[in-house]
């Protein structure tokens, strides 16, 4: 980028954005607490549903966020193919879980559950 283009970008994009961010920092932002509470409840319900589905598939409870439990269930109990990272660890990345999802329903549930905070 030339100096003219950089200056233009700075004046037209950066400066107005900085002004807006400064105003937000000074004034804060409005949050609808009722809507936030509703979203939280929806997420908790979704998490519970996904956990119950996972428990039904495996026929027992386990910690769906615990890597050790997932490795044991996916690879030791369900005998799904293992992929390792370059460092030799068992891979539980989303990209590999997507591959496993074609072989068994549990990896798909794990993928759905993960983005839920």
What are the distances in angstroms from CA 44 to CA 49, 98, 104, 117?
9, 24, 25, 9
Kindly report the backbone phi and psi dihedral angles of residue 90, in degrees, each rounded to the nearest multiple of 5, phi listed first.
-70, 135
pLDDT digits 0-9 by tens, 25-44: 999 888 899 999 999 999 99
Poorest-pLDDT segment among 1-10, 54-63, 77-86: 1-10
Whether pLDDT at 2 is above 80: no
88's torsion region: left (phi>0), alpha (psi -120 to 50) or beta?
left
């Amino acid at each position: 980028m030339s100096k003219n283009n950089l200056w233009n970008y700075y004046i037209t994009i950066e400066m107005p954005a900085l002004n807006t961010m400064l105003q937000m920092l000074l004034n804060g932002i409005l949050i609808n607490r009722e809507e936030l509470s509703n979203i939280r409840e929806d997420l908790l319900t979704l998490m519970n549903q996904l956990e119950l589905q996972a428990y039904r598939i495996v026929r027992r409870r386990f910690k769906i966020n615990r890597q050790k439990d997932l490795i044991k269930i996916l690879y030791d109990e369900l005998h799904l193919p293992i992929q390792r990272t370059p460092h030799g660890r068992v891979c539980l990345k989303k990209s590999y879980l997507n591959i496993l999802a074609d072989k068994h329903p549990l990896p798909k549930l794990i993928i759905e559950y993960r983005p839920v905070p």
